[in-house]
Amino acid sequence: MDRKLLTKGVLALAAGAVVTLAALQGANAADRVRVRGTIESLDGDTLKVKSRDGKDVTVMLKSGWGVTGVTKASAADIKSGDFVGIANEPTDSGVAGAIEVVIFPASMKGTGEGDRPWDSKPNSSMTNATVANAVKSVNGPTLTLTYKGGEKKINIPDGTPVVTFASATKDDLKTGAGVFITGETAGDGMVSADRVAVGVNGTIPPM
C-alpha cells in the first residue's frame, strides 16, 4: 500500500477517535457513557461487551461506524511540543499523578484542549494539553503541560499505560479484544455509538 495513503488512513481513524473522546470530555456529557471492557461477540452492527466491572453491555453501532486502533507506546516517546491526553489524580506531593496517557497524532493538536473531570478514579481529571517540557525524576518523567488558560504538572509513574493510535479494521474486533467506546444511552441497557477504539497486538485501551 502507498505510504501516503496509509498515513492518511491512520490519521483519519485517529481523528475520529480523538473527536469522540474530546466530545465526551465536555462539560455537557451527562447523557453520554463510556464503555470499557472486552469483546464477547460482533453480529452485524451489534457489539456485545463484557465491561471491566463484569456487566454485559450491548452496543448498537450506527450506520457508517468506524474502528480506531490503540497500540502501546512509551513515556520515552513523549517530547516537548507533543499534544497528549492524560488521565490524572491528585497526590500528596502537589504534582498530579498520571493514570494513563494518550499521545495524539500531530494533526489533532489542540483537540479537546483543557483540564476537566474524568471517571478513571474518584477526583480524577483528564488533561488534554501541549507538553512544554519534561523533567526526569526518580519515578518516571514529570511533564509541564500547557493549555488555554492554565498549566499543570503531571508525573508519569513507572508502569503507567501509555498508548497512541494506529490503523485498525472491523476484522480487529475479535472476541477477547479490549475496547473503549463512547456513546449515548439507547434504552433497555443498550448503548449506541459510531466508533470503536480497539486494542491491537494485545493492547488494552486504558482510557
What does the pLDDT look like over 37-96, one tens digit per residue?
999 999 999 999 999 989 999 999 999 999 999 999 999 999 999 999 999 999 998 899
80: left (phi over 0), alpha (psi -120 to 50) or beta: beta
Give CA angle at 77 (76, 78), nearest 5°.
90
Closest CA to 10 of 63, 71, 61, 60: 71
What does the pLDDT look like over 117-154, one tens digit per residue?
998 889 999 999 999 988 887 778 999 999 999 999 99
At residue 82, the pLDDT reads 96
Q: What letter would DSSP give residue 95?
A: S
At residue 12, the pLDDT reads 45
Confidence of residue 8 (pLDDT cuts 50, 70, 90): very low
Confidence of residue 22 (pLDDT cuts 50, 70, 90): very low
Average pLDDT over every residue of 176-191: 88
When the pLDDT of each residue in the chain is averaged and rounded to a whole number, the result is 85
Average pLDDT over every residue of 31-38: 88
Q: What letter would DSSP give residue 175?
A: T
Is pTM beyond 0.85 here?
no
Domain ranges of the chain: 3-69+166-199, 72-163
Task: Please check whether the domain covering 3-69+166-199 is classified as CATH 2.40.50.140.
Answer: yes
Cell, residue 124:
480524577
Closest CA to 114 of 89, 145, 90: 145
